[in-house]
Amino acid sequence: MTDSPHARANIFALLILTLSAVTMLWLFWHYPLGTAIATLAVLGVLGICVRLARSVDPPTGVSTLKRG
């Protein structure tokens, strides 16, 4: 049976997500406080990146289309 490249990519993505979830659960089980702190730190950094990206991103909409 032959799989299409798209199906193989989906299976690979599912495998990566499953491995990531299992790793996170294992870390949280063995090191709950450290894992919680690291998770909150990563989410905080991602939140800061979102705010910085919004401040740098040019505005879009009708007003910018009328300029051209």
| All structural domains of the chain with their residue ranges | 5-58
pLDDT at 44: 98
- Could you give the C-alpha distances from 13 to 20, 25, 45, in angstroms and in order? 11, 18, 24
pLDDT at 63: 59
pLDDT at 58: 80
**Using H for helix, E for strand and C for coil, what is the string for the chain?**
CCCCHHHHHHHHHHHHHHHHHHHHHHHHHHCHHHHHHHHHHHHHHHHHHHHHHHHHCCCCCHHHHHHC
Three-point CA angle 54, 55, 61, nearest 5°: 65
pTM: 0.61
pLDDT per residue as tens, the chain (68 positions): 566 888 888 999 999 999 999 999 999 999 999 999 999 999 999 999 999 998 888 877 655 555 55
pLDDT at 6: 86
